[in-house]
A and B are shown apart, each in its own frame.
Chain A
């Protein structure tokens, strides 16, 4: 330092600022560690209790009164059916809505109102969607306690999340891309379908698949619309009665016999594997599309 610092209005207090920086660093690290430790303990506990019960026999067996012969097949197939159908219904509808809101809707009170309501719908408790599904699909549309009624309910539940995350993905495509396409004489549809949408696919996929993996774990709305706790047959059509993994797990846990608690843990492991494969699919698809 060439000039003496005496009499200056600055008080650098470097040592104290350095200490504060360190303290916050440890607070953030602590918060992260706490979250991971809790998750790890949960996972370890489930794995210790249930891992030995996960077997091919467990996966392909029907539910039973005897824990040693009970299996997860009906819940697993029910979950896969419900999710497949939910994806089929919610993806096109949600993505189309997001495209309209971002690319077509004139900005004004109408689109602001729609936008606000979608955000509100995303925070409505899932039980409320269950009540709506029961009244609308099960009773009024007379779909009964079917996979279709369940999927329609879950579709309503995750639509706001899909719309919002797709909108964000579409919005993140630079405006200059749209201008470039328009300047070449592209129509709005050509601009959206050939430039904006392909560029937004990685983001849209990540958001939609994460929304779907939220639907995997939903129990309350499906209990409300009457997904049964005990279904002796594997579903073969969208009109069949069904149960899903979380309901099956809940059913086992609430029984008094400790053996059922162990196969509940095994069921949780199966549910986690389904969830993880969804997330893995999301990552793979995103990498695939963002490389092009």
Chain B
């Protein structure tokens, strides 16, 4: 993926056309077409098993790691076909970072957790500066600046998740994918992550999968409601939550199923 290709087109950052994901013969995502613009927070909501995490994992090719997973259709990142024959998933993941459902820091020091991505991607600058900048961006610096050599496993769940965000930011991605990033956290830690998402959208495009509809309403600019592998409705978050066009969307957000 050359720099030229990335600069070439402005919007949208991510675009899928008729994108399907098959696990063996099960179709988890069914012909989804969706566009995600730069510096927006987009939320995917829907009941368990609706395909929202699977769709998210198409954007950084994490589905490649699932045995038996197959992709049909197109997914483009700034115009570049993510599943094109010349595209290296390693390059994709460097530009499109990911934060997982459960905090999963490496069993190493706080510093090493942040530095790892930069090291493997051949970062040549000052590692100490990069680690500080990333931890500040993730609003964790003040809590850990005196114990960067301490094990990341000693942090609280909320701190671990912010460390995972700092780790993802350290490789200077363009897009941040978050797969239910607060589902394992308490309300106070959740609040911190949500504030963080609000700050981060100035510099990054964020796609967040969430089970929590209040969270989607609070943090996102646009919301997509997925059901049984289909995108039922995709639009401005305000409109989805106050004036949904589809009955199934309305039923879901009012808690009648899911």
Contacts and interface: CB of A to CB of B under 8 A. Distances in A.
Given A176-B100, A184-B94, 4 more contacts: A180-B105, A183-B168, A185-B90, A199-B106
Contacts of A104: none
B182 interface: no
A190 interface: yes
B100 A184 contact: no
Interface residues of A, number: 19
A174 B120 CA distance: 20
A184 B104 contact: no
Interface string B110-137: 0000001100110000000000000000
B120 A186 contact: yes
B171 A184 contact: yes
Contacts of B249: none
12 contacts: A107-B67, A176-B102, A180-B100, A180-B104, A180-B167, A183-B100, A184-B116, A184-B168, A185-B90, A185-B94, A186-B120, A199-B106
Given A185-B120, A185-B171, A179 B90 contact: no
Contacts of B102: 176
Given A107-B67, A174-B104, A177-B104, A183 B116 contact: no
Nearest to B104: A176
Interface in B76-117: 90-91, 93-94, 97-98, 100, 102, 104-108, 116-117
B65 interface: yes
A111 to B, nearest CB: 12
Contacts of B117: 184-186
Residue in A174, A185, A190, A199 with the greatest tally of chain B CB atoms within 10 Å: A185
B240 interface: no
Contact of B93 (A182, A194, A195): A182
A181 interface: yes
Nearest to B121: A185
Contacts of A181: 106, 116, 120
Interface in A154-201: 174, 176-177, 179-187, 190, 194-195, 199
Nearest to B102: A176
B65 A179 contact: yes
Contacts of A179: 62, 65, 100, 104
Contacts of B140: none
Interface of B: 60, 62, 65, 67, 90-91, 93-94, 97-98, 100, 102, 104-108, 116-117, 120-121, 164, 167-168, 171
Contacts of A190: 120
B167 to A, nearest CB: 7
A77 B241 CA distance: 79
Contact of B106 (A106, A177, A182, A187): A177
Interface in A76-116: 106-107
Given A177-B106, A199-B107, A194 B100 contact: no
7 closest A-B pairs by beta carbon, nearest first, are: A184-B117, A176-B104, A185-B94, A183-B98, A185-B93, A180-B104, A190-B120
Contacts of A182: 62, 65, 93
A180 B97 contact: no
A177 B152 CA distance: 13
Nearest to A175: B104
Contacts of B60: 183
Nearest to A186: B120
Contacts of A184: 93-94, 97, 116-117, 120-121, 167-168, 171
Contacts of A176: 100, 102, 104
B48 to A, nearest CB: 19
Nearest to B90: A185
Contacts of B104: 174, 176-177, 179-180
Contacts of A180: 100, 104-106, 164, 167
Contacts of B100: 176, 179-180, 183
A183 to B, nearest CB: 4
A37 to B, nearest CB: 41
Contacts of B106: 177, 180-181, 195, 199
Contacts of A292: 108
A106 to B, nearest CB: 8
A176 B107 CA distance: 11
A202 to B, nearest CB: 11
Nearest to B118: A184
Contact of A185 (B65, B67, B91, B164): B91
